[in-house]
Amino acid sequence: MATNMSDAKRRMAGPELRQKRTPMLSDSWLCAIFIAPSVLMLALMVFYPFVMLIRYSGLTFSMLRPDVAPVHVGLGNYIDLLTDTGVWHRFAFTGKFVLATLSIQFTVGIAAAYAFQRDFKGRDVLFTLALMPMMFCPIVVGFLWQYMFNSEWGLVNWLVSLLGVAKIDWLGQSENALWAVAVADAWTWTPFVILLATAGFRGIPKDIRESAQVDGASPAFTFFHVTLPMSLPIIVIALLLRVIDAFKQFDLFVAMTGGGPGSETETAAYSLSKMAFGYFHTGQASAFAIILLVVIFGLSMVFVRYLTSLSNRI
Amino acid sequence: MATVEIDNLTVRFGEVTAVDAFTMTLDQGEFVVLLGPSGCGKTTTLRCVAGLQSCTSGEIRFDGTPVTNLVPAERNVGMVFQFVSLYPHLTVRQNIAFPLRARGVRRAEIAKKIDRVATVFMIGDILGHYVVGLPPGARQKVALARAVVREPAVLLLDEPLSGVEEQYREEMRWELRHFQKELGITTVYVTHDQREAMSLADRVVLMRDGKTIQSGPPAALFDDPADRFAASFIGSPSMNFLNLKVGADGLSVASDQTLLVSPPQQVIDRYRAQGLEEVILGIRPHAVELANGAAVDNNVWPAQLVDAALVGRDLQADFSIGGQTIKAELPFDADVGGASVLRLPPERCFFFAPDGSRLG
């Protein structure tokens, strides 16, 4: 603008122009300033440790022995871990646990969400109460359920004895312990599934429900062919979050079984923490962490892919 | 396909009476349009027929069999909602198959029926598509196909074209009419759009405050409105109304005693019998004639042009007569100046009492 103006005009418009020339932050600079703190935090807390993690995973060393020089082993740590049947056992156990707890959470959660669809007296109070377990600290939940599942004086065995069945050693045997911990985990997280499934169900337009009624669909047919498939995107999100979380389950096993008997109820995450901060095999633990990351990442990708294909349609 | 009888249907929501002793009988294959302003009870009536709304009293019968206490699934009705409610997670084919699958119809049978409706609605080429992304017209056809695939006793349509763009609406109306006649299905269609009602219906039922105001073929509602509401609701642009004063020697424009009207004798008898002091004259804009040069007489009045605009091949002009505005629809080349003379042909004038009832 200014270059097109005659001198006279420029002189007249002087103060105004000078004012306009004061450095103004362009949009891109402003954006950069706003995201800088988060980028800095990420760099410090995520990128740097991640790079170090990859570096450590190629070394044999222990954080406790900085005096011992690290030895480069290349992929040695990975090969050791992947050929160790114990590691495979941990992953298999983790997988079983994830399946067990998620099947409880989603069956109960979706059924409860369906029940909460109906208008009944005290529904809102009951709904709020049903969400409470989510607000407990996991380690507290662990100790709570450890008492409940205590084979001698636990509440669960007392209930079992009422049925005339012999006492069950809930936490002393890996099969039973898996289900006991799964129940504790489900108790905490089913409310989350209820919450999201309810949101999904409520998102279905009234016209669609009425269409199904007019089309002659029974409530069960409507549930399985309309309600459930149409809330699938949100249920898959719940599933994704729960899978990731269940896969890292750690606190409940620490509190309820301590990984025992032996190391039979050690999940992958539990095992990793023992390796890293129990035995301080820092290099090997780094490799284990990377393997765990790849597994969780792969699982998540499957869900995210599915979710994308779903949301393109619905 | 069935006859539908609605007998003294009443629906109350708390203090509000949405439908008030509504009675109607549909012949087999008849296309009836429930027309009225929003809140007149037309959609509530339709929902009662579908079974989505329970009624306070009254009875609904299909082919003489009461269905009042049946849930929608037991009634065998097909319905298309205002906002096309196709199942987004299903393909067109699966959408149409839904009502059949819900009833456990065999696969081979389903395929046969889908082929048939796909041919009628000309949607054979999109059967494999998901409904998201289909143009509104196509979605509407799918919704119709789904509604009729199991040959319902009655087809219920709740403003099905309101989501379709104006330019396709006309075409859709013709197609809808064509499908309905081809399938011979008893149909109730709800709309607030009088043009839609006029072009689709075998019979229009005009409703207001939950009651029937007038019921009959579209032309009858246009040419012979039951009252002032019917006269004003039907026709576009809507009817002109002029306030007239009853004098010793006839009717005159209320604000100008020199402008006289000559009503038919029966109208005179009626307003005299009722002792009215005021009468309302109604005339459709297209009935108003320009009579420049004619002498002022009964029904022939000088008028002042207020505004004029060309609408297609018509000239729509607003005139002021004794302070009251009257709209005329004239040929596009009509010579309207600042001062004109208008003629209101007596045979095309309607007369109403101040309470809206028709005098003649």
Asked whether residue A14 carries a pLDDT value surpassing 50, the answer given is no
Is A210 part of the contact surface with chain B (CB cutoff 8 Å)? yes
The whole model's pTM is what?
0.78
In angstroms, the CA B86 to CA A281 distance is 59
* Residue B244 and residue B278 in contact, taking contact as beta carbons nearer than 8 Å: yes
Within a domain: residue A111? Answer: yes
More confident of the two residues B179 and A312: B179
| Beta-strand runs (E) in B250-323 | 250-253, 256-261, 278-283, 289-290, 300-311, 314-321
pLDDT tens digits, one per residue of A129-143: 999 998 888 889 999
| DSSP conformation class of B54 | -
Residue of B83, B87, B100, B129 to mutate, interface with A, max A Cβ within 10 Å? B87
Task: Tell me the C-alpha distance between B152 and B50, whole Å.
Answer: 11
- What confidence score (pLDDT) does residue B224 get? 92
Query: Is the Cβ of B71 closer than 8 Å to some Cβ of chain A?
Result: yes
Asked if residue A37 is part of any domain, the answer here is no
Task: Tell whether A218 lies on the interface with B, counting CB pairs under 8 A.
Answer: yes
Confidence at residue A101, expressed as pLDDT on a 0 to 100 scale:
95
- Give the pLDDT mean for A54-72: 85
Residue A241: inside a domain: yes
Task: Enumerate the residues of chain B whose CB falls inside 8 A of the CB of residue A217.
Answer: 73, 98-99, 102
Pairing verdict, β B240-247 and B250-253: antiparallel
Conformational region of residue A164, where left means phi above 0, alpha means psi within -120 to 50, and beta covers everything else: left
> Which among B86, B87, B102 has CB closest to A216?
B102
| Residue A194: domain span | 78-311
Domain annotation covers residue A299 = yes
Please report, for the domain that includes residue A172, its CATH number: 1.10.3720.10
What is the arithmetic mean of pLDDT over A24-45? Answer: 88
B70 touches chain A (CB under 8 A): no
Interface test with B, best of A213, A214, A234 (most B CBs within 10 A): A214
pLDDT confidence band for A5 (50 / 70 / 90): very low
Do the Cβ atoms of B132 and A214 come within 8 Å? no
3-state secondary structure of B136: helix
Residue A205 resides in a domain: yes
- Specify burial of residue A131 (Cβ count, 10 A radius: 0-12, 13-18, 19+): middle
CB contact under 8 A, A217 and B52: no
- Give chain B positions within 8 Å (CB) of A205: 83, 85
pLDDT tens track, chain B, 360 positions: 689 999 999 999 988 999 999 999 999 999 999 999 988 999 999 999 999 999 999 999 999 899 999 999 888 899 998 876 899 899 999 999 999 999 889 999 999 999 988 988 888 899 999 988 888 888 888 998 999 998 898 999 998 888 777 878 888 888 888 888 888 899 999 999 998 899 899 999 999 999 999 999 999 999 999 999 999 999 888 999 999 888 877 888 887 788 888 888 888 888 888 888 899 999 999 999 988 888 888 888 888 888 888 888 888 999 988 888 999 999 888 888 778 889 999 889 999 999 989 988
For residue A54, is it within any domain?
no
Domain count along chain A: 1
Q: Measured between beta carbons, which residues in chain B are less than 8 angstroms from residue A225? A: 98, 101-102
If contacts are CB pairs under 8 Å, which of residues 223-242 in chain A contact chain B?
Answer: 225-226, 229-230, 232
Q: What is the mean pLDDT of residues A46-67?
A: 87
Residue among A217, A313, A314 minimizing CB distance to B102 = A217
Residues of chain B contacting residue A218, judged by C-beta atoms under 8 Å apart: 73, 102
Which of these ranges, A61-65, A116-120, B22-26, B153-157, has the smallest mean pLDDT? Answer: A61-65
Asked if the structure places residue A4 within a domain, the reply is: no
Task: Name which of B77, B83, B101 is nearest A214 (Cβ-Cβ).
Answer: B77
Q: Which residues of A touch B155 (CB under 8 A)?
A: none
Does residue A3 have a pLDDT over 60?
no
pLDDT for res B174? 86
Cβ <8 Å between A217 and B98: yes
* pLDDT at residue B218, as a whole number: 92
A12 inside domain: no
CA A139/CA A256 separation, integer angstroms: 9
Domains in chain B, CATH or no CATH each: 4-233 (3.40.50.300), 240-352 (2.40.50.140)
Residue A175 confidence class, pLDDT cut points 50, 70, 90: confident
DSSP assignment of B226-263:
SBHHHHHHSSSSPPEEEEEEEETTEEEETTEEEEEE--
B132 touches chain A (CB under 8 A): yes
Maximal C-alpha separation, chain A: 106
B149 touches chain A (CB under 8 A): no
pLDDT at A227 over 80: yes
CB contact under 8 A, B52 and A213: yes
pLDDT tens, B23-42? 999 999 999 999 999 889 99
Question: What's residue A7's pLDDT?
Answer: 52
Mean pLDDT of A265-280: 87
ipTM (interface pTM)? 0.79
Find out whether A84 and A281 touch, Cβ atoms under 8 Å: no
Decide if A84 touches B, using CB distance below 8 A.
no
pLDDT value at position A181?
Answer: 92
Q: What's the DSSP call for residue A101?
A: H
What is the number of CB-based contacts under 8 A between chain A and chain B?
72
Sheet holding B16-26, edge to edge: B16-26, B4-13, B57-62, B65-66
B141 touches chain A (CB under 8 A): no
Average pLDDT of the segment spanning A180-203: 94
Q: Does position A13 have pLDDT exceeding 60, yes or no?
A: no
